[in-house]
Amino acid sequence: MDGEGAETTQRAQRARQPRTVRVGVIHNGIHADDAFNDRLPEVTLLRSVRSFPTSLLRYDAIIVLTHTDQGMLQHLKKPLTRYVQLGGVLVLLGATTQGRRWLPFCEWEQEFTQSISFDTESPDGGLIFRGITDPSYLKYHSKYVGHGSIRIHVARDDTRLAWDDKDRVVMFVRHLPGRGTLLVTTLDPDYHTSIPVPGPAEEPVETTHRKAAHLLDNIVDWAIWTARSAPMHRRRHLLGWLVPVGVAVAMALFYSLPLTVFLYLTLTSARAEFSAAGRVIAAIAFLGSLASIYSLFLNFVAKKGE
């Protein structure tokens, strides 16, 4: 085979290889570490989303866990919605909105669901419920299944994947045409992979953990599979890097402005034109600038060390 033919073959092989997918999980405490410990570094735990929400755009799939701070999620509602509109895959587990209406594209209804049926015929349902045939397999509590239900706003783009005997939605997926994908469920398999909560019929907690981990793994695998065919990933990744860098540079310039003014007044001939009072004011501004920069640095170090 000549050089040109070999190069063509290599390009064809690279084209057939699935691209690497980056999965980000918004960190919400110790159970996030326990739930995804076996999938690191394939899955990245995101600890500084509150400060840099546009960093979400660097990832192909984002997972929001049960019991995540809803005040923060309300702050992130627009970035999460924009993330899906830019082609990302967003997964919301154990979705509730107790006092904070943060859910994009849908609303939460509080009454717990006590039964469940699920779809294994659609491509999405077949992957998410792979190896699951018994509805009781999805029941992690003695008296109920889902933490409420979901009311969908625009049904034409949605596929119900799980529901109860009153036809209330427990899980649905929305594929936005030419954009991203949203999966929402009131099931909380992430929480029950490690937390010792009494399961149905007083089953051993190890059994509940195994069942929950099975569904969680299926959901993560589905998210990766879906993200591989998602559009606009290069543009989204680029924005995810450029915007946080731009924000950080702007903040640095803002906080360093008094420092720049003080140095100008101190080290140039302009100091002769200012009175002693003016130089005192500049010194105070200088100290304030240092304090602000120091505070910003401590806040950044604290978030990196969480």
E strands, 192-299, where? none
Most confident range (mean pLDDT) of 54-58, 106-110, 184-188 is: 184-188
C-alpha dist (Å) from residue 61 to 100, 226, 228 = 23, 9, 10
- The CA-based diameter of the chain, rounded to the nearest angstrom, is 85
Say what the pLDDT of residue 146 is.
Answer: 92
The average pLDDT across 27-33 equals: 88
| Confidence class for position 62, pLDDT limits 50, 70, 90 | very high
DSSP 146: B
| Confidence class for position 294, pLDDT limits 50, 70, 90 | low
Say what the pLDDT of residue 258 is.
Answer: 65
pLDDT tens by residue, 225-257: 999 987 767 767 676 666 666 666 776 676 666
DSSP letter string, 177-214 = TTS-EEEEES--HHHHTTS----GGG--HHHHHHHHHH
Say what the pLDDT of residue 132 is.
Answer: 97
Cβ–Cβ contacts within 10 Å for residue 113, how many? Answer: 22
Checking if the pLDDT of 306 tops 70, the result is no
Cβ–Cβ contacts within 10 Å for residue 94, how many? Answer: 20
Q: How far apart are CA 3 and CA 49, in angstroms?
A: 47
Least Cα distance to 210 among 223, 227, 193, 232 occurs for 193
Instruction: Using a pLDDT cut of 90, give the percent of the chain over it.
Output: 44
